[in-house]
Amino acid sequence: MSLMGECPECAADVTLPDDAMDGEIVQCPECGVELEVTSLEPPTLELAPEEEEDWGE
């Protein structure tokens, strides 16, 4: 049975992979936003943090 989470951006159902782990990044099939799995029980998704450019520093 697949785990389902809810997109915090558009409230769509997001199916998580069977081997999903905390901290994994998944994409919402409806709005395309990247989401971070913050919990598996219950399945909880939050907007993924944006990667900052390091500009070679």
**20: CATH:** 2.20.28.160
What is the distance between the alpha carbons of residues 9 and 27, in angstroms, rounded to a whole number? 11
Domain assignment of residue 53, yes or no: no
Give CA–CA dist 41/51, Å, rounded. 26
Assess if residue 52 is contained within a domain. Answer: no
Cβ atoms of 18 and 29 closer than 8 Å:
no
Q: In this structure, are residues 30 and 44 in contact, taking their beta carbons and an 8 Å threshold? A: no
Question: The domain containing residue 18 runs over which residues?
Answer: 3-47
Q: How far apart are CA 20 and CA 27, in angstroms?
A: 13
At 8, the amino acid letter reads: P
Total domains in the fold of the chain: 1
From first to last of the 57 residues of the chain, give the pLDDT tens digit.
679 999 999 999 999 999 999 999 999 999 999 999 999 999 999 999 877 666 665
Any domain includes 16: yes
**Does a structural domain hold residue 36?**
yes
Within-domain flag for 12:
yes
Residue 56 domain flag: no
